[in-house]
């Protein structure tokens, strides 16, 4: 199993390098960052190309595919595992794999139907609750 601390540091480093400081590369000077952030960014650059590490990360958090290297975003195994975990990870997959039949099947199995059913059940419950509350209000008057 993946070390959760390492996983969290990787995601934090990825967010710093990609989201907060766009264009930051592993050769850039990181001295302007706090020490803990420097460690996280270094871990991110070290692990973003590591196939085994990224496979473990996307199995736990499919949307972490966003932080994988371009080569791993084009890796069928990693993308399939990511969309199995979270269908929305498909947006971070390489364009060549977004239309791949196997990847699409994995994404369909993940969320489409089961989430839709849950949403519909919730909406039915909320409709029932609204009807009950209307009846209660009419009884009070």
Q: What is the pLDDT of residues 7-22, one digit of tens each?
A: 788 888 888 887 777 7
Nearest-angstrom CA–CA distance, 85 and 94: 17
Place of tokens 């269908």: 87
Percent helix, strand, coil in the chain (nearest 5)? 80, 0, 20
Domain coverage including residue 118: 4-140
Report the number of distinct structural domains present in the chain. Answer: 1
Q: What is the pLDDT of residues 105-128, one digit of tens each?
A: 888 876 643 344 445 555 666 666
Three-state secondary structure string covering 35-76: HHHHHHHHHHHHHCCCHHHHHHHHHHCHHHHHHCCHHHHCCH
Q: What is the pLDDT of residues 54-105, one digit of tens each?
A: 999 899 889 889 988 899 999 999 999 999 999 899 999 999 888 888 888 8
pLDDT given for residue 1 in this prediction: 42
């Amino acid at each position: 199993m993946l070390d959760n601390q390492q996983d969290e540091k990787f995601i934090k480093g990825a967010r710093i390098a990609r989201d907060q400081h766009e264009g930051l590369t592993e050769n850039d000077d990181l001295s302007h960052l706090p020490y803990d952030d420097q460690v996280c960014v270094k871990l991110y650059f070290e692990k973003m190309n590591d196939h085994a590490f990224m496979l473990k990360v996307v199995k736990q958090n499919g949307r972490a595919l966003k932080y994988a290297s371009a080569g791993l975003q084009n890796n069928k195994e990693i993308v399939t595992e990511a969309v199995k975990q979270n269908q929305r990870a498909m947006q971070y997959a390489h364009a060549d794999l977004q239309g791949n039949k196997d990847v699409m099947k994995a994404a369909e199995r993940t969320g489409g139907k089961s989430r839709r059913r849950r949403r519909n059940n919730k909406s039915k419950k909320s409709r029932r609750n609204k009807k009950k509350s209307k009846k209660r209000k009419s009884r009070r008057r």
